[in-house]
Amino acid sequence: MRIASFNINGIKARLPRVTEWLEETRPDVACFQEIKCQDPNFPADAFGAIGYKSIWHGQKSFNGVAILARETEPVEIQRGLPGDDEDEQARYLEAEVGGIRIVCIYLPNGNPQPGPKFEYKLSWMQRLRSRMASIWAEEIPAIVLGDFNVIPEDKDVWLPKAMADDALMQPESRDAYARLLHDGWTDAIDRLNPRGGVWTYWDYQAGAWQRDHGFRIDHALLSPECADRLLAVGVDRTYRGREKASDHAPIWVELQA
């Protein structure tokens, strides 16, 4: 079973790229972040036509997440990250697909730091940890994946100095991410690429893609019930180099059926 995640940076601008990727790679489950559309405008029919059923949580202009499943309907468990009734940003969608709990997240970027956006990021990560602890307690196969907007370690960025002041790699952001790992979740890409050097994002600016100036911020965290079944991981880098590409590449994990 292959479960993928893709920060698509706008479903309207990216639909041809995204359907092409689905048809070429045929993941069993696909999580999208930054769909950047309101709920009525999500192109569920276009995905249905190529064999995928969708649930989504949209928002005007920004954010927005979706979960697609091949030949089966994702069963929605939770929409929006619990823990703050004031938070209306569409960044969290949780479903069950084929006996696996799928948690699709778009974690706040947090720039500029310090400031309210960085505080929002850190409080969001606290709430995520709490939600993940509840899921952990269910002792089920679960995978939390998406755009975490955290560079976990220096080995996960082409040049640590270049990003030193960025919210993505502040000690507070890294500590909050490390706590999830200490809680027992397995960073699937890191587990199978322990020396680092794996990028999932390249900026549109300054020829970052051409120079391979990237970093790793898209992650997949596995509960023990999933980690025991981990066969392979990957980043579909080639899609970053195509016409009208997202600034992220898709990531995927393969679990034993």
Partner DNA sequence: ATGACTGCCTCTGGCAGA
Q: How far apart are CB 214 and DNA at their closest, in Å?
A: 9
Spell out, one character per residue from 95 to 134, where the chain touches DNA: x when CB under 7 A holds, - when not.
-------------xx-xx----x-----------------
Q: What is the DSSP string of 155-198?
A: GGBS-GGGGTTSGGG-HHHHHHHHHHHHTT-EEHHHHH-TT---
Per CB under 7 A, the list member of 3, 37, 81, 235 interacting with DNA is 37
- Which one of 24-32, 65-73, 204-212, 232-240 is the stretch in contact with DNA (CB under 7 A)? 204-212
Nearest alpha-carbon partner for 242 in 8, 5, 3, 2: 8
Q: Which is nearer to DNA, 97 or 169 (CB)?
A: 169
Per CB under 7 A, the list member of 1, 29, 32, 36 interacting with DNA is 36
Report how far residue 20's alpha carbon sits from residue 206's, in angstroms, rounded to the nearest whole number.
27
In eight-state DSSP terms, residue 248 is B
Report how far residue 184's alpha carbon sits from residue 198's, in angstroms, rounded to the nearest whole number.
22
Per CB under 7 A, the list member of 115, 204, 232, 238 interacting with DNA is 204
For residues 35-63, b (16+ Cβ closer than 10 Å) or e, as one string? bbbeeeebbeebbeeeebbbbbbbbeeeb
Per CB under 7 A, the list member of 6, 22, 27, 34 interacting with DNA is 34
- Interface with DNA by CB under 7 A: which residues? 7, 9-14, 34, 36-38, 60-63, 108-109, 111-112, 117, 147, 149, 166, 168, 201, 203-206, 215, 217, 244, 247-248
